[in-house]
Amino acid sequence: MNKMIENLKINDGKSIVHLNKAQNKFRIELNHKIKTNEYAFEGVSCAICGENSFNRIASKDRYGFYSPVSICENCGLVQLNPRMNSESYSKFYQYEYYPLYFGKSTFTEETFIWQYFRGKKIFDIISNRLGRSLKSSFVLDVGCGPGGILKYFKEKGNSVLGFELDKKSIEFGNSRGIDITDESFGKFEKTADLIICCHVLEHLLDPVSYLNEIREKLKKDGLFYVEIPLLENINREYFGEIAKCFQNAHVYYFTKVSLENLARKSGFRIVWGENLAYSLWFKCDKDEQYVNDFKNVNFLIDSYSGKARILLSRGKVINSLSLFLRKIGVELFLKRIYFWIKTR
Ligand SMILES: [Zn+2]
């Protein structure tokens, strides 16, 4: 077994990521709520195959929270099991998620700018890769944060609407002229040409039901854009340090294969993907058949132990540089230039 994962087998309650004082306060509070059962856990069946046989590979996440990362022995889907129940997750997102994960109480200008350039990237992918014209389309972003992605689509002549629960993000987006609602997406009755879903699927307790709702609200030839962290991309996102990708907010850890299993089961076909971390989906008939990913996922997880050392030093350099730039007050300015160049 991967040594980095081995260290997560026993839950000693310690964080393996650096947190500031404010983040640590929320970490301690959340840990207390978990230990005293104020936030309750539930065992579940696998979201893809419905079976109940799991191989647990970790007991804690990067913050030191009880987070049993388990692999379904039947289909290979990696998921938290047991996991916090729906009521507990709602409270967690209301009280601890933003201050703990981002060190601030809500999204900021920096997020909005990052999203705006992400919007350009999505727009270009659809126009260039699929040759699909996007003008006068109706675009929804579900879990849109402050709405930066929609800002770009609006500027390109589309009608846009965002769904978001965080009140401060809604206010921020509205102040920039973006329509964002906290109404339930499930109760929304119109259909859209494009639905965007960035870094949401991995947080959901029931991704199949959610995708069914997306499917209902998508026009017949509509497009669904999905962005998601994949286990294959750990080198890029966590510099090979797999233990740091485990976090209690992520209920699922998809691979290319398990994401395609989920898409098929929910009535979608993935038509384009950049390592599937960014992907475009079309509606199709539902198909319950899945590809068994168990061997592949075990191989993938084990494979990170050897590569980590070299990648870690690169990661440390980048993190220190970022911290230095923040201290001298030019980080945001340089990031804007970086995003602009990256998305050109
Ligand atoms: Zn399964």
Dist. CA 249–CA 70, nearest whole Å = 15
Span from the CA of 89 to the centroid of ligand 1 (angstroms) = 22
Dist. CA 34–CA 29, nearest whole Å = 9
Quick one: DSSP state of residue 202? G
Span from the CA of 247 to the centroid of ligand 1 (angstroms) = 20
Amino acid identity at 111? T
Span from the CA of 69 to the centroid of ligand 1 (angstroms) = 14
Span from the CA of 66 to the centroid of ligand 1 (angstroms) = 22
Span from the CA of 208 to the centroid of ligand 1 (angstroms) = 13
Span from the CA of 72 to the centroid of ligand 1 (angstroms) = 5
Q: Parse the chain into domains and list their residue ranges.
A: 3-104+297-306, 109-294
- Report the percentage of the chain scoring pLDDT > 70: 89
Residue pair 199/251 in contact (Cβ under 8 Å)? The answer is no
Q: Which residue has the higher pLDDT, 202 or 233?
A: 202
Dist. CA 333–CA 336, nearest whole Å = 5
CATH number attached to the domain at 109-294: 3.40.50.150
Span from the CA of 262 to the centroid of ligand 1 (angstroms) = 10
Span from the CA of 43 to the centroid of ligand 1 (angstroms) = 14
Whether 336 has a pLDDT exceeding 80, the answer reads no
Q: Which residues pair with 138 in a beta bridge?
A: 159
Question: Quick one: pLDDT band at residue 130, thresholds 50, 70, 90?
Answer: confident
Q: Which residues pair with 270 in a beta bridge?
A: 281
Q: What per-residue confidence (pLDDT) applies to 65?
A: 94
Question: What tokens appear for 164 in the block?
Answer: 């978001």
Span from the CA of 290 to the centroid of ligand 1 (angstroms) = 9
Peptide bond before residue 82 is cis, with ω within 30 degrees of 0: yes
Quick: pLDDT tens for 230-284. Answer: 998 887 777 677 888 899 999 999 999 999 999 999 999 998 777 667 889 999 9
Question: Quick one: pLDDT band at residue 3, thresholds 50, 70, 90?
Answer: low
Question: Quick one: pLDDT band at residue 11, thresholds 50, 70, 90?
Answer: confident
CA Rg value for the chain: 20
Describe the strand order of the beta sheet including 252-253 as a list of residue ranges. Answer: 54-60, 66-72, 78-80, 252-253
Question: Quick one: pLDDT band at residue 115, thresholds 50, 70, 90?
Answer: very high
Question: Quick one: pLDDT band at residue 339, thresholds 50, 70, 90?
Answer: low
Q: What per-residue confidence (pLDDT) applies to 111?
A: 86
Quick: pLDDT tens for 19-60. Answer: 989 899 999 999 999 999 999 999 999 999 999 999 999 999
The CA–CA distances, whole Å, from 70 to 52, 61, 76, 81, 170 equal 11, 12, 9, 6, 35
Neighbours of ion ligand 1 (CB under 5 A): 46, 48-49, 72, 74-75, 77
Question: What tokens appear for 312 in the block?
Answer: 């870690």
Span from the CA of 53 to the centroid of ligand 1 (angstroms) = 8
Residue with tokens 């104020």: 38
Q: Is the dihedral of CA 33, 36, 38, 42 positive or negative?
A: positive
Quick: pLDDT tens for 161-200. Answer: 999 988 888 999 999 999 999 999 989 999 999 999 999 9
Span from the CA of 293 to the centroid of ligand 1 (angstroms) = 9
Dist. CA 264–CA 38, nearest whole Å = 37
Span from the CA of 51 to the centroid of ligand 1 (angstroms) = 6
Dist. CA 67–CA 11, nearest whole Å = 9
Q: Which residues pair with 69 in a beta bridge?
A: 58, 80
Q: In this structure, are strands 180-181 and 252-253 parallel, antiparallel, or unpaired?
A: unpaired
Question: Quick one: pLDDT band at residue 321, thresholds 50, 70, 90?
Answer: confident
Span from the CA of 113 to the centroid of ligand 1 (angstroms) = 38
Span from the CA of 162 to the centroid of ligand 1 (angstroms) = 32
Q: Which residues pair with 58 in a beta bridge?
A: 69
Whether 1 has a pLDDT exceeding 60, the answer reads no
Tell me which residue of 171, 172, 144 sits closest to 160, measured CA to CA: 144
Span from the CA of 49 to the centroid of ligand 1 (angstroms) = 4
Span from the CA of 296 to the centroid of ligand 1 (angstroms) = 14
Neighbours of 4 (CB within 10 A): 18
Span from the CA of 128 to the centroid of ligand 1 (angstroms) = 36
Span from the CA of 119 to the centroid of ligand 1 (angstroms) = 34
Span from the CA of 157 to the centroid of ligand 1 (angstroms) = 43
Q: Which residue has the higher pLDDT, 301 or 44?
A: 44
Quick: pLDDT tens for 80-106. Answer: 999 999 999 999 998 999 889 988 766
Question: What tokens appear for 129 in the block?
Answer: 């890769």
List, as one string, the DSSP characters of 270-294: EEEEETTTEEEEEE----------H
Q: What per-residue confidence (pLDDT) applies to 35?
A: 94
Span from the CA of 287 to the centroid of ligand 1 (angstroms) = 15
Q: What per-residue confidence (pLDDT) applies to 268?
A: 97
Mean pLDDT of the chain: 88
Span from the CA of 77 to the centroid of ligand 1 (angstroms) = 5
HEC-encoded secondary structure of 242-269:
HHHHCCCCCCEECCHHHHHHHHHHCCEE
Residue pair 134/123 in contact (Cβ under 8 Å)? The answer is yes
Max alpha carbon distance in the chain (Å)?
A: 54
Question: What tokens appear for 168 in the block?
Answer: 């401060």
Question: What tokens appear for 20 in the block?
Answer: 């500031």
Q: Which residues pair with 78 in a beta bridge?
A: 71, 253
Whether 222 has a pLDDT exceeding 70, the answer reads yes
Q: What per-residue confidence (pLDDT) applies to 281?
A: 95
- SS3 call for 224: strand
Q: Poorest-confidence range of 7-16, 155-164, 236-245, 326-335?
A: 326-335
Describe the strand order of the beta sheet including 278-283 as a list of residue ranges. Answer: 180-181, 159-163, 138-142, 192-198, 218-227, 278-283, 268-274
Span from the CA of 78 to the centroid of ligand 1 (angstroms) = 8
